[in-house]
Structure 1
Amino acid sequence: MRQIVLDTETTGLSAEGGDRIIEIGCVELVARKLTGNNRHFYLNPERESHEDALKVHGISNDFLRDKPKFGAVADELMEYLQGAEVIIHNAAFDVAFLNKELELIGRPGFRSVVSQVTDTLAMAKEMYPGKRNSLDALCDRLGVDNSSRTLHGALLDAELLADVYINLTRGQDALLIDVGAHDHIGGITTRVDLTQFTLPVLLASEQESAAHEEVLKQLDKASGGKTLWRLAQPVA
């Protein structure tokens, strides 16, 4: 499966209010491994960033003046994203901005190009309810080194999010084992057939059996002799 981890930086918080994208970072995963086939764009937003946004990303208005506009990179970006699952932290925010940029150049919406959008913020809220689930918080919780992140940057944040996503979903692959670097062909992963193993049967000791029977007696007494295992026993 081809996955793209994507992040944007913007001039402010409102796509509908006229804010624009100034940076896009994309990191490619194939079979849950980084491929190095990434994309990174700085964009001229044709407006200045809000002061609060500048404090977040540190990308000056002067730096962006000679950068391409979104329309100049749209073909390359959409072709790169075509058919992929796109992974975004707080996806509603980035997708709203991408949709607005596409609308401004008369292109179909973002979701018409990709196979699906996965929101790691929604995943994290489900896994860690009531906790902070910002990218920095998840890096700390999952042991992802974010020491180089002093300001927000789209490519760096996409790289960190890729590592966070792999850690968030690691349990899903618990029964999958890679065939190894020398035998790995075309990103194929081998599923272990557990039927080939004979598992040992460990019997309870006399002491353990007696303790178990005592627990059953206590439960039977508490229920007035109506426990299912007693009722199901054949009459001698």
Structure 2
Amino acid sequence: MTMRQIVLDTETTGLNPRTGDRVIEIGCVELLNRRLTGNNFHRYINPERDSEEGALAVHGLTTAFLSDKPKFAEIFDELREYTRGAQVIIHNAPFDLGFLDAEYKLLGKGTFSGDVAGVIDTLVQAKEMYPGKRNSLDALCDRYGISNAHRTLHGALLDSELLAEVYLAMTRGQNSFSIDLGAGHGDADGGGAALELLPLAGIVVRTANAEELAEHELVLNGLDKDAKGACIWRQPAVDAAENPPQN
């Protein structure tokens, strides 16, 4: 079964759709079975209002630049068709969902959330994985070694591409050995294909040589001195000597 996910980001005129702020850019990146497809969705939108000064400093999309772009109503059908039935991945999902739901409501079209197969909030995931740490998109890029050097301003498509890489890094290994229930045997790789089970190779045991054993003894002797007794690595041998097995 194909798993389709859409990594989504928006840029807006401000912070609050309830006071009239609007969506001005939508960027989406498609993942099929955890692989980037290149089938992206990116639209600039004329919000029919100016951006707040703080928001403009973040995204750099001026009223003049957006003036000849389509209105949200004109890109609605495209967006709905592109995202319909997919699992959507968003960083700080309540923000983007609040704006998208407001745009849908203005058109009398229900909610964005109602057309998709669930939402994953990577900010919630990151806070669970790294409590007390910075979990912005930039911080996560740094944590996972993902280059965002080309990111001077926020852009919805670029941020979606970065978030897709972050999400794959955060969840790497989650389904590396997931069972392919449909096949009835074997494991599944990231694309859902059954893997052939092969016999394990013989276990190779490499023993320490005399020089390594001597160095190990020196370390243990130092630990014994610091602990003023037998260190924990020698304790089983001490216990065994003092309490021989009873026949």
**TM-score with structure 1 setting the length:** 0.80
Aligned length, in residue pairs = 212
Q: What's the counterpart of residue 45 of structure 2?
A: 43
Q: Could you tell me how far 1:214 is from its partner in structure 2?
A: 6.0
Displacement after TM superposition at 1:22 (Å): 0.2
**Inter-CA distance 141–213: structure 2 relative to 1 (3 Å threshold):** closer
Q: Unpaired runs of 5+ in structure 2?
A: 179-190, 214-230
TM superposition outliers: structure 1 runs of 4+ over 4 Å: 211-214, 216-220
CA deviation profile, 1:146-185 (whole Å, cap 9, x unmatched): 0110000000100111111111111214437xxxxxxxxx
Q: Distance in 2 between matches of 1:115 and 1:160?
A: 22
Question: What's the counterpart of residue 155 of structure 2?
Answer: 153
1:170 aligns with 2:146: no
* Aligned partner (choices 232, 235, 239) of residue 215 of structure 1: 235
Once residues 214 and 141 of structure 1 are traced to their aligned partners in structure 2, the CA distance between those partners, rounded to angstroms, is 39
Kindly indicate whether the alpha-carbon contact (under 8 Å) linking 1:28 and 1:34 is maintained by their aligned counterparts in 2: yes
For the pair 1:197 / 2:200, whether they are aligned, the reply is yes
Conservation of the 8 A alpha-carbon contact between 1:175 and 1:192: no
Letter in 2 for 1:10: T
Q: Does residue 81 of structure 2 align to residue 79 of structure 1?
A: yes
Determine if the alignment matches structure 1 residue 34 to structure 2 residue 54. no
Q: TM-score, normalised by structure 2?
A: 0.76
**Equivalent residue letter for 1:197:** L
Q: Say what the alpha-carbon RMSD is for the aligned residues.
A: 2.8
Q: Distance in 1 between matches of 2:33 and 2:154?
A: 27
The secondary structure found in structure 1 opposite 2:17 is coil
Distance 1:191 1:160, change over 3 A: same
Alignment-derived partner of residue 183 in structure 1: none
1:83 and 1:114 in contact (8 A); partners too: yes
- Secondary structure of the residue aligned to 2:174 is helix
* Percent of aligned pairs sharing the same letter: 57
